[in-house]
Amino acid sequence: MRDIDIDPYEHTPRDAVVTANDYCDGLHFARHSHQRGQFAYAACGVITVFTDQGNWVVPPQRAIWVPAHAPHEMHMHGPVTMLNSYIHPIASTRLGLPAHCQVFGVSALLRQLLISAMDVPALYAEDQRDGYLMNLLLHEIAAMQPLSLNAPLPSEPRLAQACSQLLEQPSLAVGIDDMCRQVAMSRRTFTRLFREQTGISFVEWRQQACLLMAVVRLGNGEPVTRVATDLGYSSPSAFTGVFRRVLGQAPSRYFAQHSPA
């Protein structure tokens, strides 16, 4: 694993630089890191991010923050247009951006700022319009609301392996007792360790894992009913309620609205 140099921007004496790239379905960036923090906005398509600490999914018109030097992999699902804001570590600390990966909502204002920032030169004048625009961009990024679109991995090896396997084929049908048998732990030890190492209960984690898979599959055009059934939801409406609570819209409406033109 190595830092990827985004020369000539990595060492540019400015707090942030914004780039835009189009990626094809299935493109995979192997494990790497950046010298700057990366605020990756999915204008269209779905992005999945993998780290030693867990998995994240970025739906269309949402973004993920990856801190400087954080090792990660990225996968593209569907044609993806990604707008990246590479932020100097000193600026990210000043703004209070987290020291861990986090998916964020993106306001209408931030979307427009990102689009405008694409035309700002790397060595923009900090005391003129371009500098004010980039400063507002950074403060708007820092004001975004976090979204629960990740499944943290526990550090205990047996738990980590079992959770990684469940992430590949998540289902609400997999219960605590199933996991206890798989990792050879008592229910009491399993529940205690799981909450200590992930910060949430297994039931909450399982729902997160199912939602991450659902976002990827729905982004690939699969019907809501099939996805909800495969993931073990009692009905499509039960799944829709969970999806709406996290992303603010029913899945059919959300993906229709954010599909590429």
Of 89, 117, 147, the domain-final residue: 147
Residues 160 and 139 in one domain: no
Residue-wise DSSP of 93-130: HHHT--SS-EEE---HHHHHHHHHHTTS-TT--TTSHH
Count: domains in the chain:
2
Q: Which of 68, 87, 65 is nearest to 17 (CA)?
A: 87
Of 147, 175, 202, the domain-final residue: 147
Where residue 83 sits, what CATH number does that domain have?
Answer: 2.60.120.280
Where residue 217 sits, what CATH number does that domain have?
Answer: 1.10.10.60
Residues 194 and 248 in one domain: yes
Encode pLDDT of 102-120 as tens digits.
999 999 999 999 999 999 9
Output the pLDDT for position 260: 54
Of 115, 147, 179, the domain-final residue: 147
Residues 181 and 102 in one domain: no
Residues 160 and 202 in one domain: yes
Encode pLDDT of 27-80 as tens digits.
999 999 999 999 999 999 999 999 999 999 999 999 999 999 999 999 999 999
- Domain limits at 243? 152-257
Predicted TM-score (pTM) above 0.85: yes
